[in-house]
């Protein structure tokens, strides 16, 4: 199935959102983005509030490389459609595997995920401190599959390394944020990833599927909204 192209001009979800306010005295945000579906609502919410931000894509956990490239390209296209600066960081998988060594069988949301978040946020914080950003945040917390407190703790720990930097702990799920995330994903027909991202989450997700009589994950074939279109065609 071919990936549909985004329109030349962005389609922003028409909704009355509360005006967001950065932490006191803060002006410029570096948004760590894990993927387009999770960051779509975060991006549009900040745009609607006139917040100055750039996207930082640093996700060496994503496996395999094809999955990584698809997620990254989705995010790039959406950022370009909205005129948002996109910083493409390293895909240093060797460092990631070294960081989580010995944690291969830890459960999702466990210590392996903490190490993964720490690594990604530490690099985000370093880039922010070296390039004039005073605030970092992440789209990771908008997903209901993630532990928001775990993510916030990792973000704050990374930002604390630099006295001029803070981690913005805004709850992107509240006020309908999670629902708008899905709405935007369907509207843009984003690639729909079916596991968190790392080789171990892929392994465990496929194991769960086999136990429930489902086929293993196929990379690069599923997009938001396409199942809805098929249902309409079959009526």
- What long-range pairs does 69-74 form, CB within 8 A, spacing at least 24? 70/3, 70/191, 70/219, 70/220, 71/34, 71/35, 71/36, 71/191, 71/193, 71/197, 74/3, 74/35, 74/36, 74/37, 74/190, 74/191
pLDDT at res. 17: 78
Sign (positive or negative) of CA dihedral 156, 97, 43, 122: positive
The model's pLDDT over 181-218, given as tens digits with 9 standing for 90+, comes to: 999 999 999 999 999 999 999 999 999 999 999 999 99
Give the model's pLDDT for residue 9. 43
pLDDT at 143: 84
- pTM, two decimal places: 0.90
113 carries a ligand binding annotation: yes
State the Cα–Cα distance between residues 177 and 173, nearest whole angstrom.
4
Q: In this predicted structure, what is the pLDDT of residue 14?
A: 60
| Domains annotated on the chain, with CATH | 29-233 (3.40.50.620)
Residues 136, 165: contact at Cβ < 8 Å?
yes
Q: How far apart are CA 78 and CA 36, in angstroms?
A: 7
| Residues of the chain with confidence (pLDDT) below 50 | 1-4, 6-9, 13, 229-235
Sign of CA dihedral 192, 226, 14, 55: positive
35 annotated to a ligand binding site: yes
pLDDT of residue 232: 35
């Amino acid at each position: 199935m071919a990936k549909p192209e985004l329109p030349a001009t962005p389609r922003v979800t028409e909704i009355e959102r509360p005006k967001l306010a950065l932490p006191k005295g803060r002006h410029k945000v570096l948004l760590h983005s894990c993927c387009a579906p999770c960051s779509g609502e975060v991006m549009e919410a900040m745009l609607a509030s006139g917040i100055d931000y750039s996207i930082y894509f640093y996700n060496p956990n994503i496996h395999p490389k094809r999955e990584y490239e698809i997620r990254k390209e989705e995010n790039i296209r959406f950022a370009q459609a909205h005129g948002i600066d996109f910083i493409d960081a390293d895909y240093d998988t060797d460092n990631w595997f070294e960081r989580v060594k010995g944690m291969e069988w830890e459960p999702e949301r466990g210590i392996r995920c903490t190490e993964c978040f720490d690594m990604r946020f530490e690099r985000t914080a370093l880039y922010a401190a070296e390039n004039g950003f005073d605030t970092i945040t992440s789209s990771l917390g908008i997903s209901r599959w993630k532990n928001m407190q775990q993510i916030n703790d990792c973000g704050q720990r990374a930002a604390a390394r630099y006295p001029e930097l803070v981690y913005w702990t805004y709850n992107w799920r509240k006020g309908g944020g999670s629902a708008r995330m899905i709405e935007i994903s369907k509207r843009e027909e984003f690639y729909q990833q079916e596991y968190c991202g790392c080789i171990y989450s892929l392994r465990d997700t496929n194991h769960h599927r086999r136990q429930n009589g489902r086929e293993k994950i196929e990379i690069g074939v599923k997009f938001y909204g396409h199942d809805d279109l098929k249902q309409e065609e079959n009526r």
